[in-house]
Chain A
Amino acid sequence: AQTVTQSQPEMSVQEAETVTLSCTYDTSESDYYLFWYKQPPSRQMILVIRQEAYKQQNATENRFSVNFQKAAKSFSLKISDSQLGDAAMYFCASGSRGKSTFGDGTTLTVKP
């Protein structure tokens, strides 16, 4: 069984600043992936960044990076140089054996 917890229902950031979204997970699987997905208002969900659990190096995609702490089962998302288009709901998810488990999401507001 997998559980994913996002403790911040809402976050806000000033444009051009940096924000970190938190996520913790629990799984009995030894092989799994971790994901951050973005769901803008009234738009479809898309992948932001992915981390293979067997890799120690933190994944990075342009302004998005993760801090993956496997022993602590923590997987936070850092957004640098925040842009207005980053405003969305962000879901943390873990995936193994054919399905993913999602956290409850964090709504990110970007202030101009």
Chain B
Amino acid sequence: DAMVIQNPRYQVTQFGKPVTLSCSQTLNHNVMYWYQQKSSQAPKLLFHYYDKDFNNEADTPDNFQSRRPNTSFCFLDIRSPGLGDAAMYLCATSREVRFYTDTQYFGPGTRLTVL
């Protein structure tokens, strides 16, 4: 089945120790997103890729970076995690059809714990 896969599902890191979360998709969608979600709040968009074009949200901290080496894979790098970065990180994909943003397909998320 076509899907969005996130690894690992649970990640524990130490304060200040870099961590990388990964996302892969078999849907061949041109847009990929990274969201941060805390405690049943709304997902907060960190950045998204439209094909290879990287789009950063204005309020995304510099501590967060992303890479998309090809259509299928996208990575979220947290250079120096702080306690406030503990959250669920959601990856999603969608098709962009003309100017419409179509349905987003979400992965199961990676829950990050910072000790």
The residue on B at minimum CB distance from A53 is: B100
Enumerate 6 A-B pairs (CB-CB under 8 Å) in ascending A order: A35-B103, A37-B106, A45-B43, A95-B100, A99-B101, A100-B101
Which B residues are CB-close (under 8 A) to A89? 40
| B28 nearest CB across to chain A (Å) | 17
| B78 contacts A by Cβ under 8 Å | no
Which A residues are CB-close (under 8 A) to B48? 98-99
Name the contact of B99 in the complex, choosing from A93, A97, A107 (C-beta under 8 A).
A97
Residues of chain B touching chain A, judged by Cβ–Cβ distance below 8 Å, are 31, 33, 40-43, 45, 48, 50, 55, 90, 92, 94, 96, 98-109
Residues of chain A touching chain B, judged by Cβ–Cβ distance below 8 Å, are 29, 31-33, 35, 37, 43-47, 50, 52, 89, 91, 93, 95-105, 107
Of all A-B residue pairs in the complex, the 3 with the closest CB atoms, nearest first, are: A95-B101, A45-B106, A102-B42
User: How many cross-chain pairs have Cβ atoms below 8 Å apart between A and B?
Assistant: 68
Q: Is the CB of A98 within 8 A of B102?
A: no
Q: Is the CB of B98 within 8 A of A31?
A: yes
| A95 nearest CB across to chain B (Å) | 3
| B112 nearest CB across to chain A (Å) | 15
Which A residues are CB-close (under 8 A) to B33? 99
Q: Is the CB of A44 within 8 A of B109?
A: yes
Which B residues are CB-close (under 8 A) to A91? 42-43
CA distance A32 to B98 in the complex (A): 10
CA distance A76 to B94 in the complex (A): 23
Supply 20 further A-B pairs (C-beta < 8 A) apart from A45-B106, A99-B101, A100-B45.
A31-B98, A31-B100, A32-B100, A32-B101, A33-B102, A37-B104, A37-B106, A45-B92, A52-B100, A95-B94, A95-B101, A95-B104, A96-B99, A96-B100, A96-B101, A99-B45, A99-B48, A100-B104, A101-B45, A105-B40
